[in-house]
Chain A
Amino acid sequence: MSTGTEGLVSGNPGPRSWRVKIERRLEQPRWLMWISPIILILAALAVGAVLLSIVGVDPRLAYSRIFSAAFGTPAGWLRGEIYPLSDTTVKATPLILTGVGVALAFRMRMWNIGAEGQLFIGAWATTGVALHLLSPETSPWIMIPAMMLAGFLGGALYGAIPGVLKAWLNVNEIITTLMLNYVAIFFNNYFIYGPWALRGFGLSPRFPRNAWLPRLMDLSDRFPIFRGLTAHLGILFGVAAVVVVWYILKYTKWGYEIRVIGDNPEAARYAGMNLKRNIVLVMMVSGGLAGLAGMSELSGVVHLLQERFSPGYGFTAIIIAWLAKLNPWGVILVSYLFGGLLVGGDQIQPFGIVQMLNGIILFVVIGGELLLQYRVRILRPERIVERAAEASGS
């Protein structure tokens, strides 16, 4: 196959034509960091549009349906119809909490794939407090904080397990966190089919009213516009979590250590940082936020413990953290986008279209990120010839 002359060209190849050079960018310009996710999501929608037309769906119709279901229409906004935004907020709430937790762990290159399990354990602990530990008459001012604490602690302790295993035995956290998801889900099943079951239905009894997070519709007496809106207080937990994580990363010693360890653990060790303690701590906070998501979902939306109260929020959180480039504020934006897709998906049939779009978005965004690290330069032929002439002349 290979002969002696292969690759040997006699004579200069000669830059007589246009040439395209692809080279790696040394530094990503700031504007590109902000613009690129938008460009890439639009590109993903374009790819989705092609696929939709192939199966005979009008992409414009499908997209406008999804959009209006998720975010409303301008005409609707003028009429005061804000329920689509409220619905999307409901879906975005657990995504923000789990997403920002996962992003924090990822910042330290702890690949916490276990947010789903931590969310379930958080929900379980919340249920224990709401139904069994405190009496139904407990004031919400005590009930809700106790449930929040339980949810956070449940997730935190569950997250600590892979953390400890990683820190002291160097067990791969991807495997342990992934597997512990299933342990948590079946652990939950045991309680809702067993000790906590309501007549063997796979449901726990309903939480007492005092264990419910306040919703916008609870204010509809004073603000009629809120009638029927299900957005609940949990969204504020999400926003608070984002603020706290952002502050930790930027303005605290601990956040500085997380970023150093995430970028170069050898340098962190050299600088005298305690890697073991940080691994466990980060896994606990990451798990705790997922556990809080479980609490907020039960206390704000479902009001009881059931088998499938999460459509995989903890897994979507991984995608969200990644698309947000591990930036806490980005998590809010991306969570709203995915929340919107979930709400829109309920409105259009078949449901699979939305899942397909999810997949395409992930695919295009992660693939496109890589492409954006390169730039394309087009060299015009005249200039090359000029330079060549200059070179041979010198």
Chain B
Amino acid sequence: MLPFDFDYYKPASLKEAIDLYQSKARNREKSMFISGGTELITLGRINLVHTEAVIDLKDIAECKVMQFEGDYLVFGSTLTLTKIEETNLFPLLTKTASEVADHTSRGKITLGGNICAQIFYRETVLPFLLADSQVMIVGPDGVKVAPINDIFKEQLQLKNGEFLVQLATDKRFIEAPYISIKRRQQWDTGYPLITVAALKMGEEVRVALSGLCPFPFRSKKVEDSLNNREWPINDRVDAALAELPRPILNDVEGSSDYRLFVLRNLLHDVLEGLGASF
């Protein structure tokens, strides 16, 4: 039961969506873009989200694409995770997405919604961070395209009135060897204790993490340590652990010390799994 009322709009074009947002802003009304809208409901019902207007992006054509354009695979932000999994164009994304929430919920949760979520795991961003994808954002200043690694700092840096439209990923990354492991507090249900996604480009291993810190990240320093072939594998992992961003989460899913213990083993598994452990 959402304890507030809002106006609901379902614009058919990018421009209409942006104009709506701006006209609401001019009236000092707070509005929110949604696509799956699961956080509007689950956080709204416990008073962690409030809005006076909801702008539903689901009908906008640009947000629904899923296709190759030249060497790039383009995903629209309002695609549901289930749809992405069933189509399976980007196996690493399929694997990482398939561990989010549960299957039925993923029929509602969208790619853009997950990447821009308030709940800080945002696991589906990991493959895009690894693949140096490009993001297309639209806002009052028009469309802009930027490398995700420039614009995703803990979360996608969106200005008021902007939203994510598409992500484009170079084919080379889609075909690269990968690993994605989600470790939970216990068994197969629940938020991540740690989710690790990794790609191997040539001899280089790329690693991105969720659930370790209160934000997902990919760290150049961590990767450099892991890829330092002059060191034995244990030292590489130790060095990587020393380069982690802070804070390390310490919550009901697990203590920070335990998370580091789990991460150490996961990094070994990643290097071994990608044949980079020698």
Q: Do A and B come from one complex?
A: no
Interface residues, chain A, CB within 8 Å of chain B? none
A-contacting residues of B (Cβ < 8 Å)? none
